[in-house]
Chain A
Amino acid sequence: MPTTSPAKQIVSLEMAQALLHKAAPPAEWQLTPEQIQPTLERSVAHRFANAAPPDDPLAIQNYLDSLQAADLALACACSDGNSAAWDLFVARYRPELYRAARAIAGESSARELADSLYAELYGLREVAGQRKSLFDYFLGRSKLTTWLHAILAQRHVDGIRRARRTESLDDDENSQNRPELAAPAHLASDPERERYLVMLQAVLQSVLATLEPRDRLRLAYYYAEGLTLAQIGKLTAEHEATVSRKLERTRREVRKQVEAALRREKKLSDAQLQLCYDYAREEWPFDLTRALSARE
C-alpha cells in the first residue's frame, strides 16, 4: 500500500458513505465505506502534504466533494479485485488506453507501453502475498482517463530520457575522437562570430528567466515541445487564438529585451546587433547549447 496517512482520523465513515452515495457504484461491486475510507485518507494526506490538515471538517468535506467520486469508486473496486468492476474498466477504458498509447508513443511502441501499464493496473505484482495494483495510486483528483494518460506519458518520457542518457554517454565517448564542430568555411574567417552567438544566447537565456511562468511555458510548449496552438490551449486553459496572441506578444517582448540588453550591457551597435542575427540565422546547425556548456 502507498504511504500511511497522517490524516487517518480525519475522513470519517460518514464522509466515505457520502462519497459512495455520490458515486453510486453498481451493487455487484459490493463497495463499502470501510473499503473506500483508506483511499480517501490517502487523498486528503496527499492534498495537504505541505500543510497541516485542516481541523475544519467542512474544508475536508469540500475537498472530498471535489473528487471524481465515480472514478474513485471504480479504481477502489478494481484495486480490491472485483471482477465486475474490472470488466467495466476493460470495456470502458482499455480501448482508450491503447489509443492514448498510440498517440504518445507511436504505433511501434504503443502496444508494449499500454500492455505494461495494463498489467500493473490489474496487479500482477505481489508484495508480502498481497496483490498490488496501480489503482492504489489513483486519488480521485482528476478524471481516471486523464490519470491514465499521465501514467502513460510518464512511462514514455522516462523511457526516452533513459535512452537519451545512454546515447549521450556514447556521444561523449565518440566526441573525444571527433574534431570540434566547426563553422562553415565562409564564416570561419570572422573571429567575432562565436563571441556574438554566445553573447546572444546568454542574453536570451537571462531574458527567458525573467519571463512570467505562463509566458515561458507557452514558449516552451511551442518551441521545445512542438505542440500546436490548440494543444497548448488545452494545457493553459486558453483559446488557441489567445495562445497565438500571447505567444506573439511574448516573442516580441523577448526580442525587445534581448536587443535592449545587448545594447546596454554589451554596448553593441545596431550593425553589430544585426550581425548577431545574421550569424544566428546562418549558423543554424551550430549547436549553441554545446557552445554554452563548453564555456560553463
Chain B
Amino acid sequence: MASRHDDKAMAGLLQKSLAAGHSTGAPAGKDCPAPEILAAYFDRTLGAQETARYDLHFSQCSHCREQLAAMARASADTGAEKKSASAWNWLRTPAWLMPAVAAVALLVVIVGITLHKQRAAQVANEVAMSRPEPEPLPTLESRAPEAPTPTPPATAAPKNSQALVLNSQKKSSEPAGQSRLQSSTAAPAAAPAAPSADENAVVVQAPPTTSGSLDVAPRKSASDSANASVAAIEVTPELEAKTPSASKAKASPRASGAAPATAASGSHAVAGSRFAARNALQSAEQARMQQMQLASNLSGLTIRTPDSNVFWLVSDGGGVGRSEDGGATWKFTSLELHGLFVSGSAPTAKICWLLGEHGAIFLTADGKTWTEVPFPVEATDAEFEHIEAKDELSATVTEADGRKFSTSDGGKTWTPAK
C-alpha cells in the first residue's frame, strides 16, 4: 500500500518536473521547427535521422510539445467526429438493403430446413414408436442406459431466466422446480454429504469485494450434475432418436423415455435427430458455462483445462478465479492488470497462461502462484488478441493483424512464429 502511495507521490513529482517549462511561458526558441516540420513529424514523413533529431528537441522543448499536443487533440477530435458522422451514413444509402435482404432470405431458408428436419424426425419417431418390436442398432444398444427414467416435462421448469434445469440420471424423479439456480440471497446451505433433492441447487456466491485471495464457501453445485447431463447427452443413444426439438432438449437434455430401439427407425430420422442432439449438447454446454459464471458472479472469460472439473474464470481488472470441482467452489486471486483479459490457455489443469489487454502476460505453473511474463518487445505496435500454450514453457501469442510470436522458455524470449 505504501508503495502505491509512493507511486502517487512520484507521479506528482513527474508532473511538476515535466510541466516546469509551461509555467515560464517562454517563447519559441530559434531551434524550434516551423509548422511545416511539426506537421511532417506528425504525419511521420520525416526521415529517421530528422525524426531522431526532433525527438530530442521535443523532449526538451515544452513549447513544441504543447503544439504537438494541440495537434494530437485536434486530430483525435476530428477523427472522432468523422467516425461518428460516418456511423450513420449507412442509413442514407440503400446499399445496405441488398445484403440485408440476402441475409434475411438465408435465415428463412435455414429455419425452413431446420423445421423440416425436425418435423421429419418427429414423424419418423412416431412411426418407430408404433412398431411392436423395433430392431435396435447394435452399437447404440450397447451404449443405452439400462433403465431410463421419466423426466419431468420441460414446461414444469421455472420460467426464471436464470433457472437451469440440470438433471442427473440419479435424480430424475426430482421435481423440476427444485432443480434451479437460487439467488445469492438464498440462505446458505450446508454441504450435503449425500445426494439429495437439493443437490442440484446452486447458490450464486457474492463476488469478491476485496483484492487478494478469497475462498468461496464450499457448496455442492449442479456442475457435477451438469457434467452428468452432458455426459448423458454424449453417450445416450435415445436422445438421437427421441429429442423432438432443440428447445425441449435444452430444458431436459436427457429427454429420456424412448427405447433404444427407436433409434433404428431409419437413417433420415437418425440424421434429423442428430441435429437436435447436437443442439441439445451445445445448449447444455452453454448452460454449464453460464452456470460457472453465475456461480462465481464474474462476467469474464472462461478457460477450460483438460481436466473437466478444473476451470479458470477471469474478469476485468485482473480478477482470476479457479475451480477444481466443476464450479462448486472457487478460489479468487487478483493480478495487477490495468484492463481486460483477452485470452487464456490452460494446457494442463495447473498450467495457465493469460493474455491481458495491454499486452500483459501472466503464467501459473502450479495453479496458485502467478508471474508476469515479459512481453514480446519486438512487437512494439502490437495488439495481441489470442494466446495458445503447450506447456509452462511454450506458448504462442497472436496479434490482431495475424502476426505470431512464440516462446519456448517460459516467456523470457519471444521469436516471430508462422
Contact = CB atoms under 8 A, between A and B. Distances in A.
Contacts of A226: 69
A169 to B, nearest CB: 10
A254 B6 CA distance: 13
A153 B71 contact: yes
Given A201-B17, A242-B382, A154 B35 contact: yes
Contacts of B7: 251, 255
A228 to B, nearest CB: 8
B27 interface: yes
Given A141-B40, A150-B42, A238-B381, A161 B26 contact: yes
Interface in B346-370: 357-360
A161 B24 CA distance: 8
Nearest to A245: B359
A277 B10 contact: yes
B21 to A, nearest CB: 8
Contacts of A100: 74-75, 77-78
Interface in A113-141: 137-139, 141
B44 interface: yes
A142 B59 contact: no
Contact of B72 (A101, A213, A234): A234
A99 B72 contact: no
Interface in B1-23: 2, 5-23
Contacts of B70: 104, 149, 152-153, 156-157
A224 B358 contact: no
Contacts of A278: 9
A291 to B, nearest CB: 10
A146 B71 contact: yes
Contact of B56 (A143, A213, A224, A288): A213
B338 interface: yes
Contacts of A289: 16-17, 20, 23
A264 interface: no
Given A241-B383, A242-B382, A289-B23, A66 B45 contact: yes
A204 interface: yes
A9 B331 CA distance: 77
B155 interface: no
A266 interface: no
B403 interface: no
A230 interface: yes
Contacts of B360: 245
Contacts of A158: 27-28
B42 A235 contact: yes
Nearest to A218: B59
B25 A99 contact: no
B168 interface: no
B68 A153 contact: yes
B66 A225 contact: yes
A146 B42 contact: yes
B161 interface: no
Contacts of A239: 380-383
B35 A280 contact: no
B63 to A, nearest CB: 7
Contacts of B55: 213-214, 217
Chain A interface, >50% SS class: helix
Size bin of chain A's contact surface: 35 or more
A137 B62 contact: no
A147 B77 contact: no
Contact of A154 (B38, B60, B72, B81): B38
A157 B21 CA distance: 13
A146 B43 contact: yes
Most A Cβ at <10 Å: residue of B2, B10, B19, B20: B10
A150 B28 CA distance: 14
Nearest to B78: A99
Contacts of B115: none
A187 interface: no
Given A241-B358, A277-B10, A141 B36 contact: yes
B72 A96 contact: no
A222 to B, nearest CB: 8
Contacts of B71: 104, 146, 149-150, 153
Contact of A224 (B26, B34, B62, B338): B62
Given A137-B34, A225-B69, A244 B338 contact: yes
A147 B358 contact: no
Interface string B39-67: 11011111000001001101110110111
B83 interface: no
A214 B58 CA distance: 9
B36 A99 contact: no
A150 B72 contact: no
A221 B69 contact: yes
A214 B59 contact: yes
B16 A288 contact: yes
A152 B26 contact: no
A255 B2 CA distance: 14
A148 to B, nearest CB: 8
B154 interface: no
A130 B65 CA distance: 35
Contacts of A200: 13
Contacts of B382: 239, 241-242
Given A149-B74, A165-B25, A227-B73, 10 more contacts: A141-B36, A141-B45, A146-B75, A153-B35, A161-B63, A213-B56, A214-B59, A234-B75, A277-B5, A281-B6
29 contacts: A46-B36, A99-B78, A103-B78, A142-B40, A149-B74, A149-B75, A150-B38, A150-B39, A150-B71, A152-B70, A164-B22, A168-B25, A216-B59, A220-B18, A220-B59, A231-B73, A232-B72, A234-B76, A239-B380, A239-B383, A242-B381, A242-B382, A258-B10, A277-B9, A278-B9, A280-B9, A280-B13, A284-B12, A287-B16
5 closest A-B pairs by beta carbon, nearest first, are A164-B25, A103-B77, A142-B39, A150-B35, A153-B70
Interface of B: 2, 5-28, 34-40, 42-46, 52, 55-56, 58-60, 62-63, 65-78, 81, 338, 357-360, 375, 380-383
